[in-house]
Amino acid sequence: MTDQIRVLHVDDESGFAEMAAEFLEREDDRIEVLTATSAAAGHEVLRERDVDCVVSDYDMPGTNGIAFLEAVREDHPELPFVLFTGKGSEEVASEAISAGATDYLQKEGGTDQYTILANRVSNYVDTADAKTQRQRQLDAIEAAEEGISILDSDECFIYLNEAYADLYGYDIDELVGEHWRKLYPDDEIPRVTDEILPALHDRGKWRGKTTGLRKDGTTFVEDHTLATTDREELVCTVRDATDRNERGHALAALHEAATDLEAADCAEEVYDILVDAAERILDFDLVAVDILHDDVLVQEAWSLDLDTEGYYQETPLEEDTFATRAFHQQETILVEDLAAYDITPADPEYRSALTVPIAAIGSFQTVSREEAAFDDVDRELAELLVGHGREALTRLETEQELRERTQELERQNERLEEFAGIVSHDLRTPLSVAEGRLELARQEGGDEHFEEVSGALDRMSTIIDETLTLARQGQLVTERQRVSIPSLARRCWSRVAADDAELEVTDDGVVSADPERLKRVFENLFRNAAEHGGDTVRVGVTSDGFFVADDGPGIPPEERERVFERGFTTSEDGTGFGLSIVSEIADAHGWDVEVSESESGGACFDVTGVETGESADGELAEFVDSEPAE
């Protein structure tokens, strides 16, 4: 029973309404009365306050009690409504009940009428509360995954949810009104009547295992819970114990698979474990693991042979498939009948599918040639398996990033040590020359000493600039643009090469790179060719990179590995930084650079591991003119 009853009393005679309110509140201390003198005012109260019951007069100006009732029913179909009027007739009473009034009560003389009205109001409100609570309970039962039924005092079904009916292979309406014996084999009924029901009535509750009988004649072991209510009803909760045991075994096996996933050393191993576990533990027939690569889901693992008809290798994200839908929505999709959807499966014989997103990594999918092959248990277990796989892939990605970061830090440390060597060694020689010449100048005088000092200082300045360049150019490339090789080569050639040399661009194409650092590569390679007397320099694009070749004297095989070392030079005026910077820039991009003999006998520098393309595709990087690199 409700703790408080709030009543709205609508009557155009305010004095009568206030008097009736006082009597009602005296009759039942739970009652609180709100008054209104018109239907419009009553609607306003209903909009602003929660009301448990409406009491209304019939004969009111503007809108009468029947019209007010009809308007209330539009928004409050279950709210108790009592027509309390002085204008009594069978016609009014009939019209009120037909319009949905809970009750009709005629005003009379004396105070007994308020006692009757108060009792009816409290009864109607308590009944409505009980009905609402009952409906909430039934809604909760319907939403439950377990099979639940309610039997009356005659042990016949008065209510059951869909899960209960499905468990026995019936429709709900086939069991309502039937006795519970319909669902048990003959040899099980004596145990229920002689042992289980007496124990239930003694304790009010019973739990154990029974044998259920399906519509098709097969039997199964049930986990069964029984309880009685104060209405002498019987509430039954049933689960398939076989499914439950199988689920328990599957969970244990998935735990072992999770351990294997945690120990996986690479992503490919994770994919294979996912497919194997889905087939071996979850008993899925056809399984695929799709991983996202550049807006395309690529099948990295598949339970069928790659030559099997219907196998699909790649699915762009813009295509509408269950794999792409699950990925975009980040929700599991369970389809009982693929024929009911516009999406055409890879194999027309597939009838049902279960697709689970692997976060932003990809998707996991299993299909079957049978309709409704997957249920909520399959969904739960598949999501659990995929969750373990997701964690393993995320771990591997984190470990890879950590390794790369560690390698970069080690590389930076090596570079710092190298720079320290430059400062301590390469600068020491010109510094000693400058100091010695200054001392000689103090002792002997002579402009030749100052010229030597100036030359030593210039060399120190060059070494410092090259050292800073080496440090900056060797930093890891994080942002790249599409760069036209012919355009960049001609621009760099016009700023660096000697007047008597010629550039020949043999191929067209683009590469993905840091434009400014790639410009430095070409400037340094062109300068190297010019310094060694080449007359023609050729630039071309290969399938995985580009080359710069000249017709100069070439580089002896025994020196080709050393030319990229910092400080190595065959020129008296060289610093040995030019090709070292080229190597650092290539390494920062993740490229490889090698030197070999060109077709004309000169040097050929091949840069590989580069992402290339055609110049016609997309926008290219634009360059801002700057001073030629030293």
The model's pLDDT over 215-267, given as tens digits with 9 standing for 90+, comes to 999 998 888 888 888 778 888 888 887 665 555 566 677 778 888 888 889 99
Tell me, yes or no, whether 69 lies in a domain.
yes
Mean pLDDT, range 109-129, rounded to an integer: 78
Gap between the Cα atoms of 567 and 578, Å rounded: 9
Q: Are residues 162 and 126 in the same domain?
A: no
pLDDT at 626: 41
Whether pLDDT at 136 is above 60: no
Percent helix, percent strand, percent coil in the chain, to nearest 5: 45, 20, 30
Instruction: Determine contact, residues 35/21, Cβ cutoff 8 Å.
Output: yes
Whether pLDDT at 1 is above 50: no
Q: Are residues 309 and 344 in the same domain?
A: yes
Instruction: Determine contact, residues 157/175, Cβ cutoff 8 Å.
Output: yes
> What average pLDDT is seen over the chain?
80
Q: Are residues 284 and 341 in the same domain?
A: yes
Instruction: Determine contact, residues 82/127, Cβ cutoff 8 Å.
Output: no
Which of 15-19, 307-311, 422-426, 468-472 is the least confident region?
Answer: 307-311
pLDDT at 415: 62
CA angle (469, 475, 477) in 5-degree steps: 120
Tell me, yes or no, whether 259 lies in a domain.
no
Tell me what percent of the residues of the chain surpass a pLDDT of 90. 21
CATH number of the domain at 230, please: 3.30.450.20
Tell me, yes or no, whether 107 lies in a domain.
yes
430: domain range? 409-470
Q: Are residues 121 and 93 in the same domain?
A: yes
Strand order in the sheet with 53-56: 31-36, 5-10, 53-56, 81-85, 103-106
Q: Are residues 127 and 156 in the same domain?
A: no
Instruction: Kindly report, residue by residue over 406-422, the tens digit of the pLDDT.
Output: 877 777 666 656 655 55
Gap between the Cα atoms of 397 and 352, Å rounded: 33
The total of structural domains in the chain comes to 5
CATH number of the domain at 115, please: 3.40.50.2300
Q: Are residues 489 and 425 in the same domain?
A: no
Give alpha helix (H) positions in 536-602.
578-589
Q: By C-alpha distance, which of 283, 296, 290, 341 is closest to 311?
A: 290
Whether pLDDT at 174 is above 90: yes
- CA 488 → CA 386, 395, 477, 491, 540, distances in Å? 48, 41, 19, 5, 12
Tell me, yes or no, whether 149 lies in a domain.
yes
Amino acid at 529: A
CATH number of the domain at 415, please: 1.10.287
Q: Are residues 273 and 391 in the same domain?
A: yes
Of 470, 492, 522, the last residue of a domain is 470
Of 87, 114, 140, the last residue of a domain is 140
Q: By C-alpha distance, which of 44, 51, 41 is closest to 7?
A: 51
Instruction: Determine contact, residues 224/238, Cβ cutoff 8 Å.
Output: yes
Of 214, 245, 276, the last residue of a domain is 245
Burial zone of 239 (CB within 10 Å; 0-12 exposed, 13-18 middle, 19+ buried): middle
Q: Are residues 160 and 240 in the same domain?
A: yes
Q: By C-alpha distance, which of 242, 210, 213, 214 is closest to 226?
A: 210
**Pairing between β-strand 612-613 and β-strand 603-608 as defined by DSSP bridges:** unpaired
H helices then E strands: how many in the chain?
18, 24
Tell me, yes or no, whether 253 lies in a domain.
no
Instruction: Kindly report, residue by residue over 317-352, the tens digit of the pLDDT.
Output: 888 888 899 999 999 999 888 888 877 566 677 888
Gap between the Cα atoms of 519 and 21, Å rounded: 93
Gap between the Cα atoms of 384 and 263, Å rounded: 17
pLDDT at 629: 41
CATH number of the domain at 573, please: 3.30.565.10
Beta bridge partners, 357, equal 363
Q: Are residues 496 and 606 in the same domain?
A: yes
Gap between the Cα atoms of 492 and 472, Å rounded: 20
3-state secondary structure of 400: helix
Q: Are residues 462 and 482 in the same domain?
A: no
> Is the pTM value of this prediction over 0.85?
no
CATH number of the domain at 371, please: 3.30.450.40
Half-sphere exposure of residue 298, counting CA atoms within 13 Å on the CB side? Answer: 7
Q: Are residues 39 and 134 in the same domain?
A: yes
Gap between the Cα atoms of 254 and 235, Å rounded: 35
**Residue 278 has which token pair?**
């889905």
Tell me what percent of the residues of the chain surpass a pLDDT of 70. 77
Tell me, yes or no, whether 154 lies in a domain.
yes
Tell me, yes or no, whether 255 lies in a domain.
no
Tell me, yes or no, whether 560 lies in a domain.
yes
- Under the banding of pLDDT at 50, 70 and 90, the label for residue 627 is very low
Q: Are residues 516 and 605 in the same domain?
A: yes
Whether pLDDT at 137 is above 70: no
Gap between the Cα atoms of 50 and 235, Å rounded: 33
